[in-house]
Structure 1
Amino acid sequence: MAIPHIFSTYTLNSLLSLKNRIAMAPMTRVHADALLVPTSEMARYYARRADAGLIITEGTVIQRNARGHDHVPGIFNHDQLQAWRQVTSAVHANQGLIFMQLWHTGRVSHPSFLDGSLPLSSSETIMSGRVTRAQGLQYGKSRAATRQEIQDIVQSYARAASNAFSAGFDGIEIHGANGYLIDQFLHHDTNKRTDEYGGTPENMSRLALEVLHACGNAIGYERVGMRLSPGAYLNEISGNLRDGLVFRHLLKQLNRIPMAYVHTGNFDDARKFPELDNMTMTSFIRTHYQGTLIACGGYTFASAELGISNNDFDLVAMGRPFIANPDLVQRLRTQLPLKPYDAAMLNTLY
C-alpha cells in the first residue's frame, strides 16, 4: 500500500530536509513572561510536537515596540535568546526542525504597549475594533513610518534573524501576512504613501523585499521563509482589485531568490478573492510562485493529501489540531481519532 504523500519526506533545499509534509502553523499563545522571555513550559510545548516535519513558532517580536499584546515572546535581547535556546534544544532532542516567525504588528497595536506612542504603519490609518487579548482597549490611530524608521525596522529584522540562528533555530519565517506591518505596506487600503514605498507594485513590495534580503544576508536565504496574505481578510484591511498586481510583482521577485518557502496566511483557504482573479490565496500564490509553497487554512488530512497529490501545494500547515493533539502526526499516521479543539485549551500550553 502506497504511503500517503503527506507522510513522505520533503527536501526544502541543500540544507534542510523534512521528515514529512506537515508543518505546525504559527499560533499566538501569549505564554511568555512579563519581559517577553520564553518559558520552560514553552520548550516542553514545542518539543511535544517535534514529529511535525517543520514547527513554525508563534509570532516573535523583533523589537520591544513591535508588539501588540503582553506576554508575546521577543528575540531582541540576551535573556530572550538564551531562553529560546532551551526551546530549540528540546525540539532538536526529539529530532524536530523549528523555524522562528519574526513579527512586527505595525498598526495592530495600542499606545499602552508602546510607551504611549502611536503605532506605526505604512500610512496614517484608523482601526476601530477591540484590541485582541486586552480587555477594555480599542484600536485607533496609527502614524506613517518615516524612511529612517523603515530602515531601522529592516535592520531589526536582520538582527532578530541572527539572534534566532544563534539560539539554534533552523531558520526563520518573516511574518508578511494577516494585516500586520509588512502586509500593511502590500495593500492599497492601508498604504497611501507617495514615496518609494507606495503607489506602485514595485514600491509597495519594497519593504517585504528589503526585509527578506536583510534576513537572507544575515543567515542565508535557504533558512528564510515568508508568510503572505495576498487576499485582504483580517485586521480591518479591505481588499482592492489593484492588490493582486502588487502580489504578482512580489511573487515574481521571490522566484529569483533561493528562499526556503512561501506560506499562505489564511484561516479559511477555501475562500476566493476578487482581487486574486477569484482564486484562493494558495492557488494564486501557486500560479505566480515557483518555489516551495506551504498551504494553510482549515485543511483536514483528506484535503491536505489531495492538495499535495495534485501538486496544488507542497506542504500543509495545521494549527488548532496541533493545539489539541501534540501527537497529531502519529494520530494521523495510525488513523486514531483526533481530540477536538476547544478554546479553553488556549489557557494552558498542553
Structure 2
Amino acid sequence: MASFATPLKLGSLLLKNRVIMAALTRNRNLVPGPLQVEYYTQRATAGLILTEATLIEPIGTEWNNAPGIYSDEQVAGWRKIVDSVHAHNGHIFIQLWHIGRVAHPLLQNGRPNVAPSAIAAKGGKFRQLPGAPGYVTPVPIDDPEHYIALYKRAAERAKEAGFDGVELHSANGYLPNQFIDNTSNQRTDKWGGSVENRCRFSLRIIDEICGVYGNDRVGIKLSPGGGYNDMGMTEKDTVETYGYLIKELTSRRIAYIQLARYWSLGDPTKRGTDVDIFQWRNLIDSEHTKLFVNTDYDSEQGAKTLKDGLADAIVFGRFYITNPDLAQRLINKQELNTNYNFKTFYDGDHTGYTDYPTYEQEHVVPA
C-alpha cells in the first residue's frame, strides 16, 4: 500500500517520493537562466520534476518566451538547472514539445504551421498573445521522419545537459497527439488511417529517444479523452487507439506512461470523451513501466489513488506553482497554499514565480 512518502523505483532511478511536478509552461525565458535555476531548485523535493514543455526547434509555439533545447546556449542554461537540482538530491526529466497546428501563426519565423493533415483546429484561443488571426489551416507534413529526427536531436542535447531522462509530450493536441487522433489525422499513407498507422509517429519518436537514453529513462504523456485544442475521438475509437498504443509502449519497457484525465479548459468545441483512464491499468506491466496520473488531483484523491494501487505516482501542476515544497506538504498533511497570482502565470519576472513561500516560511513565529 503506497503513499505520497513511499519511494518509487523508476527504471534505474529511485525516486524519494511519489509526488511528481508536472510540466508547467511559465513563459519566462527562451534560454533558461538564473531565475529558472532558482525556480526548479525550490521544487527539487519532488520525487521527479518534469520541466516545462521545451521546444525541439525555434518555431511551433503560442508563447513568445518559452524555452527550447535546440541551441548550445539553451543546453548550457539547462545544464545549470540540472546540476542544481541534482545537488539538492532531486531528479529531473525534460518534456520535449512541438505544438504543430495550434501554434500562433505569427511566431513561426515566416514558416507555415504544420500538422499531419490540412485540418485547422476549431475553438480555443491563444492565452498569452492576441488571438487574431487565430488558428490557421496547417500544411500537411511531407516527411514525418524529419520531425522524428528533430525529437532525437533534442534528446541528444538533453543528455548533454545532464537530464535524468526525457518525456515525450504526446498529449493536449500537440503534434504527436495530432497524429494519433483521427479527427486531425486523415492521411492515407503509412502515417494515417488505421490505429497502427496513427500511432506510428509517437512510437517512432519513442524508439529513437530510447536509443539515446535507454528505455528506462523515457516517459510519455497521453491525454486519451482529448477535450483541449480540438482533440478527441469517439469513445470506441479512443478505447481501441489507446489500448493499442499503451500495449506497444509497455512492450518497450519505458520508464512510465503519464495519463491525463479529460480536460476541456473551457474549449467551446466540446470535443472529446471523458473516458476512465484506469481502464488501461491492467495493460501496463508495473514491474517495468510505471503509471503516472494527472489533471485536477487534490491531496485526498491523490492519496486514495496511491493507496488503492490504481497508479504509481500522482502528477501535480497548479499546486506546484504556489507550493514549492508541495511534496513535504502532502506527505505531512499540511495546508496547501492556493493564493495564486493569476496575472503572473505566463509572463513576468520572479513575482508569482519564485516568491511563493514554503510551509515553514508561512509559519515563522516572529522573534
- Structure-1-length-normalised TM-score: 0.91
- Aligned partner of 1:146 in structure 2 is 142
- Which residue of 2 is the match for residue 288 of structure 1? 283
Q: Which residue is 1:250 aligned to?
A: 245
Q: Secondary structure at the match of 2:100?
A: coil
Identity %, equivalent residues: 33
Note if contact 2:168-2:206 (Cα within 8 Å) is conserved in structure 1: yes
Query: Could you say if the C-alpha distance between residues 28 and 267 of structure 1 is closer, same or farther in structure 2, counting changes exceeding 3 Å?
Result: farther
Higher relative contact order (CA 8 A, sep 6+): 2
Give the CA deviation at 1:199: 0.5
Letter in 1 for 2:281: R
Partner of 1:333: 331
Residue 298 of structure 2 aligns with which residue?
300
Q: Cα distance, 1:116 vs. partner?
A: 2.5
Structure-1 separation of matches of 2:32 and 2:304 = 37
RMSD across aligned positions (CA) = 2.0
User: 1:58 is matched with which residue?
Assistant: 52
Alignment correspondent of 2:166: 172
Distance 1:267 1:7 in 2: 27
Post-superposition, which runs of at least 4 consecutive aligned residues in structure 1 deviate over 6 A? 273-276
The 5 A counterparts of 1:105-116 are 105-116=99-110
Structure 2 spans left out of the alignment, 5+ residues = 265-269, 355-367
What is the CA–CA distance in structure 1 between the aligned matches of 2:225 and 2:262, rounded to whole Å?
11
What does the per-residue CA deviation read over 1:309-329, in whole Å, with 9 as the maximum and x for residues that have no partner?
Answer: 111110000011110011112
CA deviation after TM superposition for structure 1 residue 265, in Å = 2.9
Q: Distance in 2 between matches of 1:340 and 1:314?
A: 25
C-alpha deviation, 1:341, in angstroms = 4.3
Identify the residue that residue 98 of structure 1 maps to in structure 2. Answer: 92
Rounded Cα–Cα distance in structure 1 between residues aligned with 2:337 and 2:254: 35
Paired residues in the alignment total: 337
How far, CA to CA, are the matches of 2:160 and 2:339 in structure 1? 34
Distance in 2 (CA, whole Å) between partners of 1:50 and 1:260 is 20
**Counterpart Cα distance in 2 of 1:214 and 1:45:** 30
**1:242–1:275: 8 Å Cα contact kept in structure 2?**
no
Query: 2:125 is matched with which residue?
Result: 130
The code of the aligned residue for 2:229 comes to N
- After superposition, the Cα gap between the structure-2 partners of 1:266 and 1:155, relative to the gap in structure 1 and judged at 3 Å, is same
How far is the alpha carbon of 1:51 from its aligned partner?
0.5
Gaps of 5+ in 1: none
Of the candidates 4, 7, 10, which is equivalent to residue 9 of structure 1?
7
Matches within 5 A, 1:220-235: 220-235=214-229
Q: How does 1:163-242 map to 2 (within 5 A)?
A: 163-240=157-234, 241-242=236-237
- Please say if residues 105 and 135 of structure 2, whose CA atoms lie closer than 8 Å, have aligned partners that are also in contact: no
Contact 2:226 2:263 in 1 (8 A): no
Structure 1's 252 and 39: CA in aligned 2 closer, same or farther, altered over 3 A?
same
CA-to-partner distance for each residue in 1:95-149, whole Å, 9 max, x for gaps? 10000000000111132111222210111112344323112431121121112xx
Whether the 8 Å contact between 2:4 and 2:330 is mirrored in structure 1 is no
The CA deviation at 1:275 is 7.9
Cα drift, residue 4 of structure 1: 6.3
Counterpart Cα distance in 2 of 1:198 and 1:231: 19
Report the CA distance between 1:302 and its aligned residue.
1.4
Does 1:28 find its partner at 2:25?
Answer: yes
1:123-179 residue CA offsets vs partner (Å, 9 max, x unmatched): 1112344323112431121121112xx111101111111111110110010000001
Tell which deviates more after alignment, 332-341 or 98-107: 332-341
Query: TM-score of the superposition, structure 2-length normalised?
Result: 0.87
SS in 2 for 1:107: helix
Q: CA–CA distance in 2 between the matches of 1:345 and 1:67?
A: 19
Q: What amino acid sits opposite 1:69 in the alignment?
A: W
Task: Choose 324-333 or 284-293, whichever is displaced more.
Answer: 284-293
Q: Distance in 2 between matches of 1:341 and 1:173?
A: 29
| Residues 193, 199 of structure 1: 8 Å contact kept | yes
Of 318, 321, 338, 1:320 maps to 318
Please state how far the C-alpha of 1:289 moved relative to its aligned partner: 2.7
Q: Secondary structure at the match of 1:174?
A: strand
User: How far apart in 2 are the matches of 1:4 and 1:284?
Assistant: 20
More off after superposition, 101-110 vs 244-253: 244-253
- Aligned with 2:257: secondary structure? strand
Secondary structure at the counterpart of residue 57 of structure 1: strand
Distance 2:239 2:2 in 1: 34
